[in-house]
Structure 1
Amino acid sequence: MFQKVLIVEDLDSIIETIKTTLEKLAIPQIEHVKYSDDAILKIKKPNMTKYHLNS
Structure 2
Amino acid sequence: MLGWALTFLIVALIAGALGFGGIAGASAGIAQILFVLFLVLFVVAMIARAVRGRAPY
Q: With the length of structure 1 as denominator, give the TM-score of the two structures.
A: 0.36
Structure with more of its chain in strand, by fraction: 1
Larger radius of gyration: 2
Which of structures 1 and 2 has the larger relative contact order (alpha carbons within 8 angstroms, sep 6+)?
Answer: 1
Structure with more of its chain in helix, by fraction: 2
